[in-house]
Structure 1
Amino acid sequence: RSRREPNSERSFYERLFNEEAPRLEHLDLLKLIRGGEDSYLELKVRLTNNEKIISEIVALANSGGGAIIFGVNDNRYVEGLDDAEQVEDDLKEICRTQITPPVWPYIDKVAFDNGKRVIVLDIDEKRAPHYAFDHRYYIREGSSIREAKADEVTKLFARLKPTNYESIPLFNTTIENIDEAFVWSYIRDLQGELFNKNSNYPTGQVIRDMQLGIDYSDTVIPTVAGILLFGHSNQVGKLFSRSSIELQRISGENLTAPVVEKIVSTGNLATLFERAQGFIGRYVDLWDSINIRKSKLSADPVAARSNYNRSVIIEALTNALVHRDYCVRQQPIKVNIYDSRIEIINPCIAQTLSRKGLESYGVVTANNPRLKAVFKSSAYGLKTVLGGIPTLRQLAYRSSGREPKINIIQEEFRIELFGC
């Protein structure tokens, strides 16, 4: 069945009233009923226990979709409904107000020749994962339902929202792992004079409203983006090991040359950003001006430190941190400082990137749109650069006379910046 998902309550009701939705033939419906309950079908004699109905709708939506037929008893006998219209209205209300995100089902009223009527509630998984009014996630196993375990909820997010890894909840974390001072500093700077000092919102509520956490039972669980952005920096490495950056200074022009210094830094993104800038600043000169090219004296026995435009380095580090594919487990972000160039290697899924689109047009589908929006906000407290890769290329060329080299290979995005 082809469906156009409604994006608002109004469009949902417009579809209900105006669209000629496919209807079940009587024979097909009877075959379903005779087959009995299974992973995709639930039979209900009537709509009575709303809480149980809500959990069953959520479980079906989280388990691939299915249908609930009202007006059929456990012995697969069609008893019919006394007031099918009222049942339909009640189901609409339940799906709209008691489940998050709302479920937009097809509701078919079927009348048999003997005058008995049933309702078929047809549910899909397009907007999953869903949770019930009690902030619990349910799944279906055969003809029974149960509350999903923490790791199963994580798998639901990974399976049903594969391009949005930043939104996966980290069940090894709690709201106590969030740096409250950092969160409220961000909110205060973001709102400026409109900030209400007496608002007194719980930090968990703020993290949830920013979609950096999910409701789970009676608490809020931070997501990958929530921990990366606002986690206590000294805890983030243990909670989410992929939040790391490997920095090394190499005395030469390739990886076979001696390593002068190598460190692996962990922490939230603000910490990684500042530590990476500090490490780079120990070995190169960073300039705010783009007029930094100079002539080199070949007779000088000691090579001078390379010069780089500061904005180029800032944008390259920003790109690595906000566009890193955090579902790639093993590789950290790597920054290699050679004598005359800096190489930044970022784990990514290469199939989703176009080099031409990136270089020439700045066109890229952000892996982590929510994370990027917060990180690049001035309220987050970091100096970033607007314009993305096209701006980086222009500034680098003006300052060094050489265009950055960009390569996308397997699961790596590499950018080489040349000093002068």
Structure 2
Amino acid sequence: MTTLIAQGENNALEFKSAQVHPDSLAREMVAFANSQGGIILLGVDDNGEVTGLPADKHYEEWVTNIARENVIPALDVIITCHVHDEKQVLQIDVPKGRDKPYQTRQFQFLIRVGSTNRIATQAELMRLFQQSGMFHYDLQGVEGTSMRDLNLASIDAYFSAYQIDFQKEESQERILMNTDILDAQGRVTVGGLLMFGINPQRQLPNACISFAHFAGMELDDELLDKQVVGGTLNLQVDTALAIIKNHIRQPSRIQGAKTVDQVFQYPEKVFRELLVNACVHRDYAIHGSRIRVFMFDDRIEFISPGRLPNTVSIEKLSLGVSFSRNPVILKFMENLRYIDKLGRGLPMVYRTAVQANKRVEFAEVGEEFRVVLAL
């Protein structure tokens, strides 16, 4: 407890005195639940002085009722009672919420920023709804677009696999709306543009992959190569995969009539899966960031904008879990045989690395998801 108090208030720790109003405590819970979780110490003033809680009130029950009645939807918190310098302090552990976004009874959607709370911006609120699966950004129409922004030859090739002659269809627009390539206003959806657009980066400039190869193990080491891969998502995956294969070291020797690798080489499907996963599950509502692939002497990193959805945790990824932030993109990439919806891809990556005694790490860093694969 002393060590915790010594940290002072920060992005994961808040102090509250016994006189705190229920609505104020609820705001702290909402902000932590909408962010990465945190701890509230009840009975500690803002300056870190332990003032304790009076014995004439059942504070555990009081806090539990606030979490259930003043937070929407209701929140489960963990309450621990401590005695510090003969004074009672309640530690309230607020988890990262599974049912984001949370709001107060005053309809405030709050997030934690540093040691303070603030109302979520429209973009932040949209991401919270995306994480809950209540809103899908890839279904949104892109302003100023229409059928003229689509590669109709590519669409015709796609539908031909289902015995549909798209070019001969009288109501092409209706078909495109029914398959979520166009929205109800005739605009191309984000997913439709990324899968069948003539030049998706014209409207979505950062919906691409940046590749960088460094001569060493740090970002400030010599840059050997840098490329930006654009186009539709299937083209991005194929092109980025070819670039990675071209840069991977492949020392080998001749043994008999065949060439034998001297060091372990990941199968192509590992890199392909990580590229597909990044393209399919990234948060395209984050406009200022790209998918990034960084290659170092000892590892390769795949960095994708956007945190994991509410129901997905880092621990679940290596065991297999299927989730859909972008259902339109997922549908088309699955139909084009780039992915399945069984959640087998990342477990395959994990098993391949572990069996080769290689380190693999899944992590959330800020508003990004990162996979680090040791070479």
TM-score of the pair, normalised by structure 2? 0.57
For 1:167, give the aligned amino acid. L
Give a deviation string over 1:152-192, Cα, whole Å, max 9, x none.
xx9xx999986311111101211111111111111112x1x
Q: CA deviation at 1:394?
A: 1.4
Matched residues in 2 for 1:322 and 1:251: separation? 29
Q: CA deviation at 1:403?
A: 4.1
For residue 319 of structure 1, what is the aligned residue in structure 2?
A: 277
For residue 290 of structure 2, what is the aligned residue in structure 1?
A: 332
Alignment partner for residue 350 of structure 2, among 393, 397, 403? 393
- CA 1:320/1:211 → structure 2, altered by over 3 Å: closer, same or farther? same
For residue 278 of structure 1, what is the aligned residue in structure 2?
A: 242
Consecutive unaligned residues of structure 1, counting only runs of 5 or more, are 1-153, 287-291, 297-305
Alignment partner for residue 314 of structure 2, among 351, 355, 376? 355
The question of whether the paired residues in 1 share the 8 Å contact of 2:156 and 2:165 is answered with: no
Matched residues in 1 for 2:317 and 2:365: separation? 14
User: What pairs up with 1:15-414 in 2 under 5 angstroms?
Assistant: 163-189=135-161, 191=162, 194-196=163-165, 199-216=168-185, 220-232=186-198, 235-284=199-248, 307-350=265-308, 352=310, 353-360=312-319, 362-377=320-335, 380=336, 382=338, 387-398=344-355, 400-414=356-370
SS in 2 for 1:308: coil
Give a deviation string over 1:190-240, Cα, whole Å, max 9, x none.
x1xx44578524442222110221122xxx2111001011101xx211111
Matched residues in 2 for 1:351 and 1:209: separation? 26
For 1:415, give the aligned amino acid. V
- CA 1:215/1:229 → structure 2, altered by over 3 Å: closer, same or farther? same
Matched residues in 1 for 2:241 and 2:182: separation? 29
Consecutive unaligned residues of structure 2, counting only runs of 5 or more, are 1-122, 251-258
Deviates more, 1:350-359 or 1:336-345: 350-359
For residue 36 of structure 1, what is the aligned residue in structure 2?
A: none
Q: CA deviation at 1:317?
A: 0.5
SS in 2 for 1:278: helix
The question of whether the paired residues in 2 share the 8 Å contact of 1:396 and 1:403 is answered with: yes
Higher fraction of helix: 1
Q: CA deviation at 1:349?
A: 2.6
Give a deviation string over 1:288-315, Cα, whole Å, max 9, x none.
xxxx99656xxxxxxxxx7321111111
Matched residues in 1 for 2:194 and 2:290: separation? 14
- CA 1:196/1:401 → structure 2, altered by over 3 Å: closer, same or farther? same
Matched residues in 1 for 2:148 and 2:272: separation? 31
- CA 1:158/1:357 → structure 2, altered by over 3 Å: closer, same or farther? closer
Give a deviation string over 1:39-62, Cα, whole Å, max 9, x none.
xxxxxxxxxxxxxxxxxxxxxxxx
Matched residues in 2 for 1:174 and 1:262: separation? 33
The question of whether the paired residues in 2 share the 8 Å contact of 1:166 and 1:224 is answered with: yes
- CA 1:195/1:203 → structure 2, altered by over 3 Å: closer, same or farther? closer
Give a deviation string over 1:60-116, Cα, whole Å, max 9, x none.
xxxxxxxxxxxxxxxxxxxxxxxxxxxxxxxxxxxxxxxxxxxxxxxxxxxxxxxxx
For 2:221, give the aligned amino acid. A
For 2:191, give the aligned amino acid. A
For 1:204, give the aligned amino acid. E
Matched residues in 1 for 2:127 and 2:160: separation? 33
For 1:259, give the aligned amino acid. L
Give 1 or 2 for the bigger CA radius of gyration: 1
Matched residues in 2 for 1:259 and 1:385: separation? 37
Cα-Cα RMSD: 3.0
Matched residues in 1 for 2:350 and 2:300: separation? 14
The question of whether the paired residues in 2 share the 8 Å contact of 1:251 and 1:338 is answered with: yes
The question of whether the paired residues in 1 share the 8 Å contact of 2:280 and 2:326 is answered with: yes
The question of whether the paired residues in 2 share the 8 Å contact of 1:350 and 1:409 is answered with: no
SS in 2 for 1:222: coil
4+ long deviations beyond 6 Å: 157-161, 383-386
Q: CA deviation at 1:365?
A: 2.9
Give a deviation string over 1:120-146, Cα, whole Å, max 9, x none.
xxxxxxxxxxxxxxxxxxxxxxxxxxx
Give the % identical residues: 22
Q: CA deviation at 1:252?
A: 0.9
